[in-house]
Amino acid sequence: MLGRIWQFVKDPLNFAVIAAIAGGVWAVFVYFHPAPEAKPAPPQNKIEADCGSVAIGGDVTGATITAGSSGDCPKPKP
């Protein structure tokens, strides 16, 4: 059975017909298959560091980083 199929495919004309049909099926699939919806952008991170501390979380590319004192930090002990 497999030998008969291989003999059929080995013929250059049959191979060209099979390739054209497969290409047409692929073109129809790509044309009618809906494109995936764009994923929404991940929420932007806002990192805050109070009282002279340092804070970082995950990928900070494009994130807002605020460092400084909020004014209600405890006084350092002597």
Query: What domain range includes position 58?
Result: 40-70
The reply to whether 44 and 28 lie within a common domain is: no
Residue 77 lies in a domain: no
DSSP string, the chain: -HHHHHHHHHSHHHHHHHHHHHHHHHHHHHHHSPPPPPPPPPPPPEEEEETT-----S--TT-EEEEE--S-PPPPP-
Say whether pTM exceeds 0.75.
Answer: no
On whether residue 55 sits in a domain, the answer given is yes
pLDDT of res. 69: 59
User: Does some domain include residue 56?
Assistant: yes
Is residue 23 a part of any domain in this protein? yes
Q: If the chain, 78 residues long, is cut into consecutive pieces of 10 residues, what is the mean pLDDT of each piece?
A: 89 94 95 85 68 68 65 68
Asked whether residue 78 is assigned to any structural domain, the reply reads no
Counting the structural domains of the chain, the total is 2
